[in-house]
Amino acid sequence: MLVILYLIMKLKQLWIYPLSLGIIGALIGLVLRYAYTGSIENFSFKNVLHAHSHVMLLGFIFNAMFLLIYASFTEDVDRVTKRFFIVLQLFMLAMMIAFIIQGYALYSIIFSTAHLWLSYILLIRLWRNLNQSNPLVFLVKSGIVLHFLSSLGPYALGPLMALNMKASPWYQQAIFFYLHFQFFGVYFCWMLALFCQKVKYTLSKSQINFIVFGLVLLYSHSLDYSFNNVWINIVGGAGAIIVLTVLFQMKTAVNNSDTLYRAFYVVLLSLGLLNAIGAIPAVGDLATKNRFILIAWLHLIFLGMYVPFIWISLQVKIKYWLWLVYTCSVVFSELVLITPSIYSKWLNTNAMQLLFLAYFIVFLSITIVHTKYLIDINKSKRILN
């Protein structure tokens, strides 16, 4: 633990990027919610949405998980890796500005491609620096492989556009392919490796193989948005059950861990269970036919699982009331997204205004936690010096 703390301190100057981008991404998301209320005229919603999703997915989650993995599974961080990481942030900022100005076009494609290629270099350097004596390294490597696999999705977009297939289901599936193997590929594998390390549970290679196999099968849930076949549900359900089975095997180790990790384990199992329930055709149809439910699912993964895990892993001292406020605002936003008419009628107000209020509280929570961590770690560095 002291070695990990030391590495986190050495990476301190790099944490300003994911935490600041997390605040910026949350602010852009809040602007989107405000625009949804109809309060902004001539708003380029799709362009800003691209910026929001890329900043949160790559600027916050990827950066944060990469730094956590580097601190937990390597013995040191070199200057070259730090410099590459900083250049990656420049591409991220350029990509964000390009998306806001022009959407998915020439400059945003150039900067997103440059970001992707530089991420390859960083992950290759990470692979070479991994502490091979740690049995969980195999899970970290699996995440790296899945990152490379996920990039096949963006690469397919160009040829599909050239073939005039942008309106085809395969164009959407190329995007879903990338998103799935980011959310339930590289990030999930890295998160699980970090979680197991914290609760002192060692996954065997066979368990890791089952986890990765289950995550690959889970991609069939995405196919359900474009195709109607019973085997899609069967394969997706099998993947969810495989992942859940391995997660349940960790129960004893988790019960002996800290309260926050026990609470997070409940979240982990709940999302796994929801993945299994999503294999039921009637439930799957709800998500495929209602965009709000799709957004609710993506936000639940991001705000309900990855954001709290990053905060817990950084050991930010968060007050109980702030955890409660954040959790309630996320849950409320999910409920409004799933059944907007009910809450709109019950509270006698527009559902979009309710969502704006919920996300305003989420934004404030993220801003408070990220700012506090940067202040705390700066103090800790001064003490260590």
pLDDT tens figures, 114-140: 999 999 999 999 999 998 888 899 999
Q: Tokens representing 188?
A: 């999930």
How far apart (Å, rounded) are the C-alpha atoms in residues 124 and 236? 31
Per DSSP, 105 falls in state S
Region of poorest pLDDT, from 28-37, 67-76, 277-286: 277-286
Report the Cα 296 to chain-centroid distance in Å. 14
Q: Is the pLDDT of residue 234 over 50?
A: yes
Residue 221 banded pLDDT, cuts 50, 70, 90:
confident
Region of poorest pLDDT, from 201-215, 264-278, 343-357: 343-357
- Look at residue 384 in the predicted model and tell me its pLDDT: 42
- Look at residue 11 in the predicted model and tell me its pLDDT: 61
- Look at residue 3 in the predicted model and tell me its pLDDT: 45
Residue pair 293/330 in contact by the 8 Å Cβ criterion: no
Report the Cα 369 to chain-centroid distance in Å. 17
Region of poorest pLDDT, from 17-21, 284-288, 299-303, 305-309: 284-288
Residue 383 banded pLDDT, cuts 50, 70, 90:
very low
Average pLDDT over all residues of the chain? 88
Average pLDDT for 76-99: 92
Angle between helix 12-36 and 2-10 (nearest 10): 70
Residue 36 banded pLDDT, cuts 50, 70, 90:
confident
Q: Is the pLDDT of residue 41 over 90?
A: no
Residue pair 369/316 in contact by the 8 Å Cβ criterion: yes
Q: Tokens representing 233?
A: 């549900």
How far apart (Å, rounded) are the C-alpha atoms in residues 67 and 84? 13
Residue pair 199/257 in contact by the 8 Å Cβ criterion: yes
Region of poorest pLDDT, from 10-14, 124-128, 290-294: 10-14
Report the Cα 100 to chain-centroid distance in Å. 21
Region of poorest pLDDT, from 152-161, 192-201, 326-335: 152-161
How far apart (Å, rounded) are the C-alpha atoms in residues 256 and 250? 11
Question: Could you tell me how many residues make up the chain?
Answer: 385
Q: Tokens representing 117?
A: 């290629």
Residue 378 banded pLDDT, cuts 50, 70, 90:
low
For 50, residues 6+ apart whose C-beta sits below 8 A from its C-beta are 99, 103, 104, 108
- Look at residue 163 in the predicted model and tell me its pLDDT: 81
- Look at residue 379 in the predicted model and tell me its pLDDT: 65
Short-list 131, 183, 176, 184, CA closest to 154: 176
Average pLDDT for 340-369: 86
Mind listing the pLDDT tens digit for each residue in 152-165?
Answer: 999 998 888 888 88
For 329, residues 6+ apart whose C-beta sits below 8 A from its C-beta are 358, 359, 361, 362, 365
Residue 317 banded pLDDT, cuts 50, 70, 90:
confident
Q: Is the pLDDT of residue 65 over 90?
A: yes
Residue 2 banded pLDDT, cuts 50, 70, 90:
very low
Average pLDDT for 86-97: 96
Beta pairing partners, 74: 130
